[in-house]
């Protein structure tokens, strides 16, 4: 889909940092539109976007190595403000005539910077002479600044913790302002966007909604669109937005693979068919999916099987729609998000073929002969939720915890059966009910039950049992990139475990997963 024109924007050049997305989050939180592009295609992205400012991200490479990544010369020639972060500082300084060396004391983790000179970069929250906590992650360091640069701040192992050529609008930090471990980092990035680049806070969901509706109408015209409705927040918001733009030219197809949460299919069908009056085809394909998955225990084979069957069922229903006498659909709508787009063109080449099964950032099968409509491809997850609220979807739906495309299949390790899915469904419903009763649902980013492929001997009353073990998981997160387990108190866990064991036949033991996750998936696999 043609991207929205953003005349006031910032380009983030990705040199491979695992937290580059957090830079974009902080800039957008400041009300400024930005895009991330890998250094390999940064020149084309720069010429196309024509941003008012540029940020160089961190990265794992060493500037001192032959062939290490560099920023395109066009960025320097444009005469616009630049912010270099960590590796971004090092390549900026190297490209402008400075020097970087390895072999010095590294800094990984918390450090304090001492402010030597006032700067618009931290105007309003850091003062000259003060010391402030930041988060460092570097081995190499700048040893010689380019002409025109001066030291703004230092740390114990980074003599140029902040260095700038304020005349040219070039600012660099050795630390990472984008991570939460730098308490004032968001303010620093906001200052760069507003006080240095000079942009306004005009990135709003109301503006995005209006512009995207115009773009959808322009792209689709009078043609028909079909949308694969998974029941999740992403595809649901996409469907409501597209329906607002083109009305009944849109038909949604909801493929029920039999591995949804308790009552979820009824809720999805009721909301879209009865409340929003969006044309909806509901396909109960649970028998097909469960038959094909019988005896399959490998999680990746499960995913591929579910993905293949989903496409086959979806295509069959799309063919029926094409034969209804109203004209064949020419467009397919998907709830692709910006992290999916970034992943498919990432620094390392991007595993585009392994992204969400109901997304297809890498392209559609040629046999479908359809164009994509992806109205959310510029948004992060929390921005999608904000757009959903802007569109009037209920908070009870918008705020639902993320649910994977393969559904309960990957929350039921080992072989899947109807009996095991029913057991898991009931345990999961009780768990979520207790979370809501405790007022914790909106505090937790994602919570779910897992039915482990393990059975244990237990005693319930006067009987011995040989039943399954249920694991409970709950994590806190901002954007799904990193996660930490939620610290329940023992009363909550005891109450929840007792309910599950008493009310769900087939479970005699409950455990709580206290694993934290670094950047990457936080699903149970």
CATH number for the domain formed by residue range(s) 417-512: 3.30.300.10
The two three-digit tokens of residue 90, written as one number = 């090092």
**8 A C-beta contact, residue 172 and residue 88:** yes
86 has catalytic annotation: yes
Nearest to 338 by CA among 391, 386, 401, 381: 381
Is residue 249 classed as helix, strand or coil in its secondary structure?
helix
Q: Name the one residue in this structure whose structure tokens are 């591929």.
A: 304
3-state SS class at 153: strand
| CATH annotation of 205-398 | 3.40.50.620
Of these residues, 37, 176, 243, 257, which one is catalytic?
Answer: 176
pLDDT at 517: 61
Q: Furthest-apart CA pair in the chain: how many Å?
A: 83
Could you state, in chain order, the average pLDDT of each consecutive group of 10 residues for the chain (525 residues)?
66 90 90 92 94 95 91 97 96 95 68 94 95 84 93 90 96 93 94 97 89 94 92 90 96 94 90 88 95 93 91 91 88 85 54 36 61 89 90 88 87 95 97 97 94 86 83 83 85 97 95 72 48
Q: Which of these is catalytic: 6, 34, 35, 86? A: 86
Distance of alpha carbon 270 from the chain centroid: 28
For residue 85, list its beta bridge partners: 173
Tokens 């010391």 locate to 131
Place of tokens 């419903």: 429
How far is the CA of 92 from the CAs of 15, 20, 24, 353, in angstroms? 12, 17, 19, 34
**Count of all residues that appear for the chain in the document:** 525
CB 48: neighbour CB atoms within 10 A?
13
Q: Domain locations in the chain?
A: 9-196, 205-398, 417-512
Strand partners, 472: 449, 512
Q: Same topology for domains 9-196 and 417-512, yes or no?
A: no
d(CA 416, CA 418): 7
pLDDT at residue number 345? 55
Question: Do the beta carbons of residue 513 and residue 472 sit within 8 Å?
Answer: yes
Instruction: Tell me if 350 sits within 8 A of 309, measured CB to CB.
Output: no
- On whether the CB atoms of residues 189 and 30 are closer than 8 A, the answer is yes
The CATH architecture annotation of domain 9-196 reads 3-Layer(aba) Sandwich (3.40)
**Residue 176 among the catalytic residues:** yes
Q: In the numeric block, which tokens belong to residue 148? A: 């025109």
Is the dihedral angle over the CA atoms 309, 334, 45, 85 positive or is it negative? Answer: negative
Give the active site residue among 35, 107, 178, 343: 178
pLDDT value of position 477: 79
> What is the predicted pLDDT for the residue at 468?
95
pLDDT tens column, 110-158:
889 999 999 999 999 999 999 999 988 766 888 999 999 999 999 887 8
Residue 525: closest CA among 298, 261, 350: 298
The answer to whether residues 133 and 44 touch, using CB atoms and an 8 Å cutoff, is: no
What are phi and psi for residue 345, nearest 5 degrees? -130, 35
């Amino acid at each position: 889909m043609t991207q929205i024109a953003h005349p006031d924007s910032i380009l983030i050049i990705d040199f491979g940092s695992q937290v580059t997305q957090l830079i974009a989050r902080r800039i957008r939180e400041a009300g400024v539109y930005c895009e991330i592009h890998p250094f390999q295609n940064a020149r084309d992205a720069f010429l196309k976007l024509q941003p008012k400012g540029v940020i160089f991200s961190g990265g794992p490479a060493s500037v001192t190595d032959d062939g290490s990544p560099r920023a395109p010369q066009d960025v320097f020639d444009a005469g616009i403000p630049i912010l270099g972060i960590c590796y971004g500082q090092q390549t900026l300084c190297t490209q402008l005539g400075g020097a970087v060396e390895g072999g010095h004391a590294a800094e990984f983790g918390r450090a304090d910077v001492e402010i030597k000179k006032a700067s618009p970069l931290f105007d309003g929250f850091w003062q000259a002479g003060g010391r402030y906590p930041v988060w460092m992650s570097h081995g190499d360091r700048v040893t010689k600044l380019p002409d025109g640069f001066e030291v703004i701040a230092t740390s114990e192992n980074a003599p140029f913790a902040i260095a700038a050529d304020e005349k040219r609008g070039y600012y660099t930090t050795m630390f990472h302002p984008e991570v939460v471990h730098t308490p004032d980092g968001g303010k620093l990035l906001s200052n760069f966007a507003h006080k240095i680049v000079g942009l306004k806070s005009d990135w709003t969901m109301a503006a995005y909604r209006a512009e995207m509706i115009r773009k959808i109408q322009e792209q689709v015209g009078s043609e028909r669109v079909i949308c694969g409705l998974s029941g999740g927040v992403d595809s649901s918001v996409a469907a409501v937005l597209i329906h607002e733009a083109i009305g009944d030219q849109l038909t949604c197809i909801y493929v029920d693979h039999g591995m949804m949460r308790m009552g979820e299919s009824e809720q999805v069908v009721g909301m879209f068919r009865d409340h929003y009056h969006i044309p909806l085809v509901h396909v109960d394909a649970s028998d097909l999916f469960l038959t094909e998955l019988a005896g399959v225990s490998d999680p990746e084979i499960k995913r591929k099987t579910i993905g293949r069957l989903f496409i086959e069922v979806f295509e069959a229903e799309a063919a029926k729609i094409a034969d209804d006498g109203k004209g064949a659909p020419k467009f397919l709508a998907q709830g692709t998000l910006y992290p999916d787009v970034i992943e498919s063109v990432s620094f390392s080449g991007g595993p585009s073929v392994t992204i969400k099964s109901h997304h297809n950032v890498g392209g559609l099968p040629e046999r479908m002969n359809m164009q994509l409509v992806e109205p959310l491809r510029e948004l992060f997850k929390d921005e999608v939720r904000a757009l959903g609220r802007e569109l009037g979807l209920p908070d009870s739906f918008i705020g639902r915890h993320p649910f994977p495309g393969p559904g309960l299949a990957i929350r039921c390790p080992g072989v899947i059966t109807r009996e095991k899915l029913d057991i898991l469904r009931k345990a999961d419903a009780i768990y979520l009910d207790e979370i809501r009763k405790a007022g914790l649902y909106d505090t937790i980013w994602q919570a779910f039950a897992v039915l482990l492929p393990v059975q244990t001997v237990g005693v319930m009353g006067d009987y011995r049992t040989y039943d399954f073990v249920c694991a409970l998981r709950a994590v806190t997160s901002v954007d799904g990139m990193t996660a930490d387990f939620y610290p329940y108190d023992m009363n909550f866990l005891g109450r929840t475990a007792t309910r599950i064991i008493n009310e769900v036949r087939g479970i005699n033991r409950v455990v709580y997963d206290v694993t934290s996750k670094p950047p990457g998936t936080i699903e149970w696999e």
